[in-house]
Structure 1
């Protein structure tokens, strides 16, 4: 077996040579984003045997993921449960002959040129234990992967836009199992979203946005939901009676985005200014990213509010409160909209509960193209701030 030391530019040149020279590619690479080399790589897609790119932290270019759609033996690593999928293995085979480049370099502009990188090039045969082990490693790595469908590629591209706005990108940019069912609504762009919202027969968009703006102003003004007036709490909860609509802020249709007037135990908790209910809503930040951990804390406290009740609060009442505080993140799912929401977001409506609401509703929304559009100028900037809650205009069926 022959061994050579390579630096970044030499790594790139060696990969180009091996791509032409060998019949099979066996790769396991953490990240890929080099446009020129990627174009060259995919002209040899028929040579792929086990070629797997990682997508952790949205570091692989979405163009590379798009290029993998429908490619036999090409994968993205989504099934590596612990740590980070992080190898840099490029191996090639023709019959018994094998070559490999192993080192620090990712398949990126930095890894193949701009960075200070180091690798070794190994050439020999399958009789060399190191080379046969490298081929086996690439095969094992493919087991952490999934073949790329267009819905996955679309969701991944949206996740890259979203990741750019977050202080820290999530390790798993596209949660496993939430791609495909909601493909149509996730692929919708911002212009189509606005058109569909404006075309709603059941919502007055301007008045809907005014209602949300009032609720958000209350949350920005008071440190806790417990400090809201009784009428404000009832308005946010969707249970405000007609005789209680005193003053310009309250005198409007607070039943939009889910009327909860039939939820007796919930109404009692709101009336009594239940401490757990207030703490639950206070646990959701007024701005910035809402994390799953914060949502789960909300759920624990929300359920505590009903510990002594014969009937507990569920998805409609909980998400009504959430959508009023953070309409940019949460959709109130209730009887008038659940059939269409289930159809478009791809879940079974009879099985939706607080435990799976995050992955069935929040995650597909947050990975959608329209959701990750840049905030537009006025007047649609107000709609963008309420874009998750305003899905009700698309899903509502009286």
Structure 2
């Protein structure tokens, strides 16, 4: 019997056992592909007698499932009662010649590279080996009977939902998209754990008169979007107000002189020309973001598909200004005046920020924040701020 506590030892033993034994009987909660142990398994897949893998919480990677589509020796647990959670790996030649790894490790890349795992390696010569062997086989057999062989259609459907669920899974583990974060647990990031009242105290640090002017900008933007079906139907002054460009709209709408709040795009020449020319793709992009209801990653990606057709590259400030004006409850304009403080306060490395990171590392963090999840407005002004609370992060992070 041997205790395995190092990833290197776990990897070494799995590779040895896969090569040494002729039959694999496994049951594991989750599995992934793309690591060296998985590579060994594929090279020796003819030795698989039965493998059962859980897919609960969408933790099993689609790439693993794809490798075993229509393989009758590999099954997946779809809807267990409770959570299918074993990690049992039996390697056999016969009942007198076998080894077993059992413990905390799933068959995942993380288990073999970075997780803290504890497993026991035992064999046919250990105490109570016959009882252990028979009990292990029974557990694996009964699990296999509950599983299902995946078809191409099953895999495609699973992959679609897996893609949708990944940001949720990552945020629950304190990870938001890429590895650019500073590895600070979410419960230690002050900006995420602020209460609504604490958030309001910080917002009003700008002064009540400034906040009133900010609210007016949000109100004007909402009125403009609501009066037309498409952005392109606004006149030039109105489009420039939404886009954060100098405009004479104040001649007709009180408060429009503050168009630069929530991100001035005064120096964005290419963007300014697109707005002046009423480029249709900018309007198509904004059509992808609903005025009410949830905004999904799909909505955001569709917005970017249109936007990047006319401004390919990393035009974060201009794109997020438009987004923040249409849905200030979801988006914040990410620009030169707030990005340093915003990234610092969320524990994000600012370098190489792009549209994907903006969604995963900023917007998802905002959505997971206490003040965002539990707004508790005490009066009409706070209620208006609550309806634009993502955009109002600018009040906390703006650096003149």
Normalising by the smaller structure, the TM-score range is 0.5 to 0.7
Cα 1:28–1:304 shift into 2, 3 Å:
closer
- Alignment pair present for 1:235 and 2:241: yes
- Unaligned 5+ residue runs, structure 1? 1-25, 30-52, 57-77, 99-123, 138-169
Q: Cα RMSD (Å) of the superposition?
A: 3.6
Cα 1:351–1:90 shift into 2, 3 Å:
closer
Deviation by residue 1:105-128 (Cα, 9 ceiling, x = unmatched): xxxxxxxxxxxxxxxxxxx94131
- Alignment pair present for 1:260 and 2:265: yes
Give the alignment of 1:244-283 within 5 angstroms: 244-249=249-254, 251-283=256-288
Distance, in Å, in 1 between the alignment partners of 2:210 and 2:399 is 15
Distance, in Å, in 2 between the alignment partners of 1:253 and 1:89 is 57
- Unaligned 5+ residue runs, structure 2? 1-26, 31-53, 66-76, 88-99, 103-129, 144-163, 177-182
Distance, in Å, in 2 between the alignment partners of 1:295 and 1:198 is 30
Shifted more, 174-183 versus 215-224: the winner is 174-183
Q: Give the deviation of 1:296 after TM superposition.
A: 0.7
Q: Give the deviation of 1:200 after TM superposition.
A: 2.6
Cα 1:375–1:313 shift into 2, 3 Å:
same
Q: Give the deviation of 1:300 after TM superposition.
A: 1.2
Q: Is the Cα contact below 8 Å between 1:174 and 1:367 reproduced in 2?
A: no
The aligned counterpart of 1:364 is 365
Query: What's the secondary structure of 1:300's corresponding residue?
Result: helix
Cα 1:335–1:91 shift into 2, 3 Å:
closer
Q: Is the Cα contact below 8 Å between 1:276 and 1:301 reproduced in 2?
A: yes
Give the alignment of 1:86-125 within 5 angstroms: 87=80, 88-89=83-84, 125=131
The aligned counterpart of 2:297 is 292
Deviation by residue 1:131-183 (Cα, 9 ceiling, x = unmatched): 67559x9xxxxxxxxxxxxxxxxxxxxxxxxxxxxxxxx64534252273653
Cα 1:371–1:341 shift into 2, 3 Å:
same
Q: Give the deviation of 1:187 after TM superposition.
A: 1.6
Give the alignment of 1:343-382 within 5 angstroms: 343-374=344-375, 376=377, 378-379=379-380, 380-382=382-384
The aligned counterpart of 2:61 is 81
Query: What's the secondary structure of 1:351's corresponding residue?
Result: coil
The aligned counterpart of 1:339 is 340
Distance, in Å, in 2 between the alignment partners of 1:209 and 1:131 is 66
The aligned counterpart of 2:390 is 388
Indicate which of 181, 198, 221 corresponds to 1:192.
198
Indicate which of 218, 225, 232 corresponds to 2:224.
218
Runs (4 or more) in structure 1 with deviation over 3 Å come to 26-29, 53-56, 82-92, 129-135, 179-182, 374-378
The aligned counterpart of 1:318 is 319
Distance, in Å, in 1 between the alignment partners of 2:311 and 2:84 is 54
Distance, in Å, in 1 between the alignment partners of 2:307 and 2:350 is 21
Deviation by residue 1:313-372 (Cα, 9 ceiling, x = unmatched): 600000000000000000101001110011112322221112321102111111111111
Cα 1:333–1:256 shift into 2, 3 Å:
same
Larger gyration radius, structure 1 or structure 2: 2
Deviation by residue 1:219-247 (Cα, 9 ceiling, x = unmatched): 12210000111111001111124x55312
Indicate which of 170, 179, 188 corresponds to 1:175.
170
Q: Is the Cα contact below 8 Å between 2:249 and 2:257 reproduced in 1?
A: no
Distance, in Å, in 1 between the alignment partners of 2:28 and 2:279 is 57
Distance, in Å, in 1 between the alignment partners of 2:86 and 2:359 is 40
Cα 1:125–1:383 shift into 2, 3 Å:
farther
Number of corresponding residues: 264
Q: Give the deviation of 1:374 after TM superposition.
A: 4.7
- Alignment pair present for 1:127 and 2:133: yes
